[in-house]
C-alpha cells in the first residue's frame, strides 16, 4: 500500500515540465463520499434475536473517491471501510484500505493506465470489470491497460492483471491472472467511402485468457483458458442491429460442477426508433459461460465476464421482489419491448399525451443430452452434456409480462399504473430445490400531486398475489417532498397472505432526507425482510434486519 502511494507520488512529482505551482494551481480534484450506517436491534416477530446480531449492533459501509487531473495526466484512489459490513453483505467485505489506486496518461494516440482499472470489451461477454456499491460487488483489475488509436476509427485495447477478491491480496498462485485484447473498427470513421451511405457499421473482436495453476489431485485441469468473441453494430435509418458471439474452451470450475464442455454465448438486439415509438427485440443464448479468474470461487466475485440480463429492471419494492439472475450454466432468453407515446391532442392522449410501455421477457433452460448412457448430465469430471444450439427446453426459469401506462392529468396531477404477470422458478434462481415456481399477478399505482411549486405528495400502492413462496403481499407508501431540500416518507409492506400465520408481518419504514448542494442525508427506521441469496452454487442467508439506517453522501 505504502509502496503504491510512493510510486504515485513519484509519478506525480517527476512529471518533468511541471513546476510545483502547476501541480496545485492548474490541477483539478474531484471526489465523492458516502457512508451507510445501520443500527440493529432484536425484533422477535421477524426472527432477530441477540444471537443473530452477535453483539454487532452497528454496521457501517463507507467509501471516498478522489480523482486528480492535470492536463493529460490523471490519478485517483478510493478508500473503503466496511466495519463491520451492513447486514446482508458478504462478511469477507470486512476490512478497510485503498482497494483502488491508479494513474493514467492519455493523448490522441495512446492511453495508459497503471494500477486498478475498470474496462469492458464489447457487451462484456468475455470481459467486463465494474463496481456496484449497493451490492458490494467489485471485480476491478489490478494491472496495466493500454488503449491505442493507431488510425481513424480504430481502437485497440490490451489489459492484464489480477482481479479484486474482497481484501485478499494477490499472491503467487493464490488465484488466476487475466490478460486480454480487443479491437474495434468503426467503418464510418475509417473509410471515407462510407460517409453518406446511410449505413452505420462497426465491427470488433476480443480475446481473453486466464491463467491459474493446476494442483488439483482429482482433476486434470486446464491452466490456460481462452475465450474469444466477435461483434458488429449495424445501423440503417431508424433500425439498428447488434450481435455478439463468444466462445470459450474447456473451463471446468466449481460453477459448472467441473465439466469439460466448451462454452458459448450469443447476444443479439434489433431495435427501431422514431419520435414517440421505440421497439426492441433481444435474444440471448448462454451455454456453460461462467468465466472466473479463480475456478474454485463460487461467490459473487472474480467474474471476468458479464452476461447482460435481457429483462426489465423493476423499480418498485414488490415488482422487484423476484428479480431474475442470469444462469451462466445455460439459458435462452428473449425480450420484446414497445414504448409508445399517444400524441397530445388526441382522444386517448389528452392535453399532455399518454405513455404506454409494453414489455415481455422469458428465459428458458437449454436442452442438455447425456454424453453417453453411463454418464449423468453435468457429472463432474466428464464432458457434462451435449446441447443443440437452437433447441429450447420446456423448463421456464423466468417470464415477465408487464404493461405500464403513465399520464399527466393536469399541471398538478400525474400518475402511473402498471400490471405485471410473473413466473419465477425459485428452485433454480434462489436455489430452493424442490419448491414450486412462483406465479404471481402484480399491480402498481403511483400518483404525484403537486400542492404548490415546492410541495408535492406522492402515493404509491402495490399488490402481489401468489399462492407460492410467502404468499400475498401489499405495500403502501406516502412521500412528501419540499423541493429542493426535504423529503419524508412512510411505507409498509404487509405479508398478509403468508401460509405460516406467525409470519404475516408488517415491514414498515419511516424515512426522511435532507439535500443541500450535492450533500444528502437520509434517515430510515424500519424492518427488512429476510432472504436467501444463491450465487454460483453457494447460498447465504441474508438475515432480516430491524433498526435505524443513516446514509450520508456528498460530491465535490
- Among candidates 188, 220, 216, 223, which has minimal Cα distance to 202? 188
For residue 166 the three cell numbers come to 474482497
For residue 320 the three cell numbers come to 422487484
For other proteins, the closer CB: 32 or 380: 380
Q: Are 59 and 38 in contact (CB under 8 A)?
A: yes
Q: Are 116 and 101 in contact (CB under 8 A)?
A: yes
- Among candidates 292, 360, 375, 368, which has minimal Cα distance to 328? 292
Using only C-alpha atoms, the chain has a radius of gyration, in whole angstroms, of 26
In the complex, minimum distance from the CB of residue 175 to other proteins, in angstroms, rounded to a whole number:
10
For other proteins, the closer CB: 254 or 491: 254
In the complex, minimum distance from the CB of residue 151 to other proteins, in angstroms, rounded to a whole number:
5
For residue 510 the three cell numbers come to 419511516
Cβ-based neighbour number of residue 136 at 10 Å: 20
Cβ-based neighbour number of residue 448 at 10 Å: 17
115 vs 107: CA distance, rounded Å: 18
Pairs from 92-96 (Cβ < 8 Å, separation ≥ 24) = 92/166, 92/167, 92/168, 92/299, 93/61, 93/136, 93/166, 93/167, 94/167, 95/166, 95/167
466 vs 441: CA distance, rounded Å: 7
For other proteins, the closer CB: 315 or 532: 532
For other proteins, the closer CB: 368 or 407: 368
In the complex, minimum distance from the CB of residue 434 to other proteins, in angstroms, rounded to a whole number:
4
In the complex, minimum distance from the CB of residue 429 to other proteins, in angstroms, rounded to a whole number:
12
In the complex, minimum distance from the CB of residue 48 to other proteins, in angstroms, rounded to a whole number:
13
> Cα torsion for 314, 315, 320, 324, to the nearest 10°?
40
In the complex, minimum distance from the CB of residue 127 to other proteins, in angstroms, rounded to a whole number:
13
Q: Which helix (DSSP H) or strand (DSSP E) does residue 132 occupy?
A: strand 131-132
Binding site for other proteins (CB under 8 A): 54, 90-92, 150-151, 154, 156, 167-169, 171, 174, 179, 181, 183, 185, 190, 205, 207, 209, 211, 215-226, 228, 249-250, 252-254, 257-258, 260, 295-299, 376-383, 427, 431-434, 532, 537-541
For other proteins, the closer CB: 35 or 257: 257
For residue 421 the three cell numbers come to 404477470
For other proteins, the closer CB: 339 or 529: 529
In the complex, minimum distance from the CB of residue 377 to other proteins, in angstroms, rounded to a whole number:
6
For other proteins, the closer CB: 211 or 508: 211
In the complex, minimum distance from the CB of residue 505 to other proteins, in angstroms, rounded to a whole number:
19
For other proteins, the closer CB: 451 or 539: 539
**What are the distances in angstroms from CA 167 to CA 59, 92, 97, 115, 541?**
18, 7, 8, 16, 21
In the complex, minimum distance from the CB of residue 185 to other proteins, in angstroms, rounded to a whole number:
8
Query: Which residues 6+ apart lie within 8 Å of 220 measured at CB?
Result: 214
For other proteins, the closer CB: 100 or 260: 260
Amino acid at each position: 500500500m505504502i509502496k503504491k502511494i510512493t510510486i504515485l507520488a513519484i509519478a506525480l512529482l517527476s512529471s518533468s515540465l511541471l513546476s510545483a505551482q502547476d501541480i496545485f494551481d492548474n490541477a483539478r480534484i474531484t471526489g465523492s463520499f458516502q457512508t451507510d450506517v445501520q443500527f440493529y436491534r432484536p425484533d422477535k416477530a421477524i426472527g432477530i434475536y441477540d444471537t443473530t446480531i452477535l453483539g454487532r449492533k452497528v454496521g457501517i459501509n463507507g467509501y471516498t473517491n478522489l480523482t486528480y487531473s492535470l492536463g493529460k495526466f490523471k490519478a485517483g484512489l478510493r478508500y473503503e471501510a466496511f466495519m463491520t459490513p451492513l447486514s446482508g453483505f458478504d462478511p469477507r467485505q470486512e476490512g478497510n484500505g485503498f482497494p483502488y489506486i491508479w494513474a493514467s496518461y492519455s493523448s490522441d494516440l495512446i492511453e495508459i493506465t497503471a494500477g486498478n482499472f475498470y474496462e469492458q470489451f464489447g457487451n462484456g461477454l468475455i470481459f467486463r470489470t465494474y463496481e456496484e456499491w449497493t451490492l458490494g460487488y467489485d471485480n476491478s483489475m489490478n494491472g496495466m491497460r493500454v488503449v491505442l488509436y493507431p488510425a481513424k476509427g480504430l481502437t485497440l485495447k490490451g489489459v492484464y492483471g489480477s482481479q479484486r477478491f474482497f481484501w485478499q491480496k494477490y499472491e503467487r498462485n493464490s488465484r488466476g491472472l487475466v490478460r486480454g485484447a480487443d479491437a474495434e473498427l468503426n467503418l464510418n470513421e475509417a473509410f471515407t467511402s462510407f460517409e453518406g451511405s446511410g449505413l452505420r457499421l462497426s465491427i470488433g473482436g476480443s480475446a481473453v485468457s486466464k491463467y491459474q495453476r493446476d494442483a488439483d489431485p482429482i482433476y486434470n485441469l486446464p491452466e490456460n483458458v481462452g475465450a474469444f468473441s466477435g461483434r458488429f453494430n449495424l445501423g440503417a435509418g431508424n433500425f439498428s442491429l447488434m450481435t455478439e458471439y463468444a466462445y470459450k474452451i474447456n473451463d471446468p470450475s466449481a460453477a459448472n460442477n467441473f465439466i469439460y464442455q466448451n462454452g458459448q454465448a450469443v447476444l443479439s438486439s434489433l431495435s427501431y426508433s422514431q419520435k414517440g415509438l421505440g421497439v426492441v427485440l433481444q435474444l440471448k443464448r448462454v451455454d456453460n459461460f461462467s468465466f472466473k479468474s479463480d475456478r474454485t470461487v463460487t461467490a459473487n466475485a472474480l467474474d471476468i465476464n458479464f452476461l447482460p440480463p435481457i429483462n426489465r429492471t423493476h423499480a418498485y419494492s414488490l415488482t422487484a421482489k423476484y428479480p431474475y439472475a442470469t444462469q451462466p450454466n445455460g439459458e435462452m432468453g428473449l425480450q420484446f419491448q414497445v414504448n409508445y407515446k399517444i400524441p397530445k391532442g388526441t382522444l386517448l392522449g389528452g392535453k399532455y399525451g399518454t405513455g404506454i410501455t409494453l414489455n415481455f421477457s422469458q428465459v428458458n433452460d437449454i436442452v442438455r443430452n447425456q454424453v453417453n448412457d453411463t454418464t449423468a448430465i453435468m457429472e463432474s469430471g466428464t464432458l457434462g452434456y451435449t446441447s443443440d444450439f437452437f433447441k429450447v427446453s420446456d423448463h421456464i426459469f423466468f417470464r415477465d409480462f408487464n404493461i405500464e401506462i403513465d399520464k399527466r392529468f393536469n399541471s398538478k396531477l400525474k400518475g402511473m399504473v402498471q400490471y405485471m404477470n410473473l413466473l419465477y422458478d425459485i428452485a433454480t434462481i434462489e436455489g430452493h430445490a424442490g419448491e414450486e415456481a412462483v406465479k404471481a399477478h402484480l399491480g402498481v399505482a403511483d400518483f404525484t400531486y403537486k400542492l404548490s411549486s415546492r410541495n408535492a405528495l406522492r402515493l404509491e400502492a402495490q399488490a402481489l398475489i401468489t399462492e407460492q413462496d410467502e404468499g400475498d403481499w401489499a405495500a403502501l407508501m406516502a412521500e412528501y417532498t419540499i423541493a429542493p431540500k426535504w423529503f419524508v416518507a412512510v411505507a409498509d409492506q404487509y405479508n398478509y397472505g403468508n401460509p405460516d400465520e406467525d409470519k404475516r408481518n408488517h415491514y414498515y419504514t419511516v424515512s426522511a432526507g435532507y439535500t443541500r448542494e450535492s450533500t444528502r442525508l437520509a434517515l430510515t427506521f424500519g424492518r427488512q425482510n429476510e432472504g436467501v441469496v444463491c450465487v454460483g452454487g453457494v447460498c447465504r442467508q441474508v438475515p432480516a434486519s430491524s433498526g435505524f439506517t443513516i446514509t450520508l453522501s456528498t460530491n465535490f
